[in-house]
Amino acid sequence: MQKTVNLLKKHNEITVIDEPLDIYLEIPHLAYMEVKKENGGKALLFTHPIDSKNGKKFDVPVVMNLFGSYKRTELLFGREIESVADEISKLLHMKPPEGLANKVSMLGDLFQLKNVFPKRLKKEGECQAVKMLDKEVDLYKLPVLTTWEQDGGPFITMGQVYTQSLDGEMVNLGMYRLQVYDKNHLGMHWQIHKDASHFFDQYQRAGKKMPVSIGIGGNPLYTWCATAPLPYGVNELLLYGFVTKQQAQVVKSLTTPLYIPKDVDYVIEGWVDPQTMKIEGPFGDHTGYYTLEEPYPLMEVTAITHKKEPMFLATVVGKPPLEDKYMGWATERIFLPLLKTNAPDLIDYHMPENGVFHNLIFAKMQPLYKGHAKQFMHVFWGAGQMSFVKHALFIDEKGPELNNYFAMSKYVLDRFSPKMLFISEGITDALDHSSPEALVGGKLGIDATLKFAPTTPELIDDKTLLALVQERIPEVKSLRQYMLMTPNPIAVITIDKKENVVTLFEKMRDLKEHLRIVAFVDVKNNNIDNPYMLTWRVVNNLDAQRDLRIYDGVVYVDGTNKNSLDGFERRWPDDVTCTQSVVSGLKTKGLWNLDESLEDLYEL
């Protein structure tokens, strides 16, 4: 971490904040603000974190927003991200060489792969220079942050969680949020689809405790590798070796059989009793909503070790854009070649930041036959973590760049017909709050590789259209039409919801000449003039099976919060929002310096 900080200082990519700031809300709020700036702002080094509730000062700096820009992400990788993807593609398409020169070239490529495998050291690592064992264990000696007012407590957010299968044959490195309950217990937010959860099931069936070691800090690529969507049973540290061309040097934990990189800043070791579960959460998550309380495994900490002068790495999650935007960009680029192995006519894919990864994906492909895009939808919905994507939109090879959102919108709407829509059902992310039941819900695919010749509606201005809608639905409060230059304009409507919105769609059927796509959102907490956050809201709240209807060629979408009016039996979570008194305090200290237009855009 110290080398990383020095690198970022050299490139003017880090801001050092010497003002004492609280680990409760203040530090994470400032990091949340910083990453909203153009190009992701700077990384932040907080040299004097404090815990004002307990009158405590820490001599451990907190580092945040490390990956929070395209430039910094490539600096941390030490190379262009696309070059990693090119190497993977070359490896996947390697053929028997012809001629001496090609054989020598292949030998060079294969020789480099020797550095992929982690090297186990027999001695202790610098991460074990200072030891807290047995009764000395105290998680409160670490500057663990509480990010949001409704959070269930402090959470470790950048932990590298090392686990192994019951037989010890497979190891895994993953990233899971870790709630600090007391000085020697952590909550393990292992969602059921994660490898660590699969390992946990093995220990649970055998009635044995499960070893866990958690690294914090060290080379930033350890942390990124923890998020990588590798196949089940593949050690993520192999990816570290592949990217850096250097072996990860690992040492054995003191109280578990697990190996961790020798140069992480902190190691937290312990055991999970499969018979003990504890309520974890709530937690303001990367969806922009709180994830609610649920029982998760409990880890009893048996050792904490660290470097002589450690740094504490953390991140902040909430409404987009955030640091995970840039980490996800690296993942998106690097794993494209692997995705193409199951979808060979795939050209590119992209996950818009306000789709928070699992809610929206764009893909470009070369369609070769009828139904080809639907085939790819099933490939995506069956491919590892990609299977959690709720809404997938496919365009053909003649379409625009996937990250040019205006051009993408126009391209699709110029050729759109409801016949493009494909509704299915499948697994959803554990963080998804909108489906009628946990872990399974509606999926929406849009096959925009097809081209229709839609008829243009009879356009009328927003004020006139609003009056017509209010005659039929008095609870409607405002209306704005987008993309009027296309034959498929989108009418966004805010409503003070008094009944199930889906039942209201039919009341608008006689307005079909003026409508093509209609989206309802709640009047509360939504700015009808902010398409960035409206997109975030709708793809978060939509379950395609329940909330989408087509009448007379018009597509209606219910993007409101769900409740008993909708037969929704789960508890709907609150939005993640900043605590205004904390923001005011940071402004008074001269530290909060975000342009007001960005505060409004991202609805801080």
Instruction: Give the pLDDT score at 233.
Output: 83
pLDDT-based confidence at 226, cuts 50/70/90? very high
Residue with tokens 């942390």: 223
The stretch 462-473 carries a mean pLDDT of: 98
Looking at residue 342, what is its pLDDT?
Answer: 87
- Angle 438-443-446 from CA coordinates, rounded to 5°: 165
pLDDT at 112: 60
336, 362 contact by CB (below 8 A) = no
DSSP code of residue 450: S
Average model confidence (pLDDT) for the chain? Answer: 94
Residue 106: the pLDDT is: 43
Beta bridge partners of 213: 162, 269
Q: What percent of the chain has pLDDT over 70?
A: 97
Say yes or no to pLDDT of 599 above 70: yes
Q: CA 448 to CA 362: how far, in whole Å?
A: 10
**Mean pLDDT (whole number) for 506-519:** 97
> What is the arithmetic mean of pLDDT over 582-595?
97
Q: What is the pLDDT of residue 97?
A: 56
User: SS3 of 398, please?
Assistant: coil
State the Cα–Cα distance between residues 231 and 387, nearest whole angstrom: 13
Provide the total of helices (H) and of strands (E) in the chain, helices listed first: 17, 31
Pair 209, 271: CB distance under 8 Å: yes
Interval 494-514 mean pLDDT: 97
Rounded to an integer, what distance in angstroms lies between the CA atom of residue 604 and that of residue 600?
A: 7
pLDDT of residue 557: 98
Residue 494: pLDDT above 60? yes
pLDDT (tens digit per residue) in 113-157 = 778 899 999 999 999 999 999 999 999 999 999 999 999 999 999
What are the pLDDT digits (tens) for 274-331? 999 999 999 999 999 999 999 999 999 999 999 999 999 999 999 999 999 999 999 9
Domains of the chain: 2-81+102-313 (2.30.110.10), 342-448 (3.40.1670.10), 462-566 (3.40.1670.10)
> For 133-217, where are the alpha helices, taking DSSP H only?
195-206
Task: Assess whether pLDDT exceeds 50 at residue 417.
Answer: yes
Return the higher-pLDDT residue of 343 and 30: 30
The identity of residue 10, as a single letter, is: K
pLDDT value for 105? 53
Residue 373 has pLDDT above 50, yes or no: yes
The pair of structure tokens assigned to 257 is 């059989």
Closest CA to 248 of 73, 126, 125, 115: 115
Task: Annotate 468-529 with DSSP letters as a single string.
Answer: HHHHH-TTEEEEEEE-TTSSS-EEEEEE--SS-GGGGGGGGGGGGGG-SEEEEEESTT--TT
Q: Tens digits of per-residue pLDDT, 540-563? A: 999 999 999 999 999 999 999 999
Q: What values do phi and psi take at 222, rounded to 5?
A: -60, -45
pTM check: above 0.85: yes
pLDDT digits (tens, 9 = 90+) for 191-219: 777 778 889 999 999 999 999 999 999 99
* Residue that wins the pLDDT comparison between 582 and 98: 582
What would the mean pLDDT of 64-79 be, rounded to a whole number?
A: 97
User: Average pLDDT of 379-400?
Assistant: 93
- Alpha carbon distance 354, 324 (integer Å): 11
Question: How confident is residue 109, by pLDDT bands cut at 50, 70 and 90?
Answer: low
Question: Tokens 């578990």, residue?
Answer: 256
300-314 burial, b at 16+ Cβ within 10 Å, e below that, comes to ebbbbbbbeebbbbb
**Residue length, the chain?**
604
59, 48 Cβ separation under 8 angstroms: no
Cα–Cα distance measured from residue 149 to residue 164, given in angstroms and rounded to the nearest whole number: 35
pLDDT at 471: 98
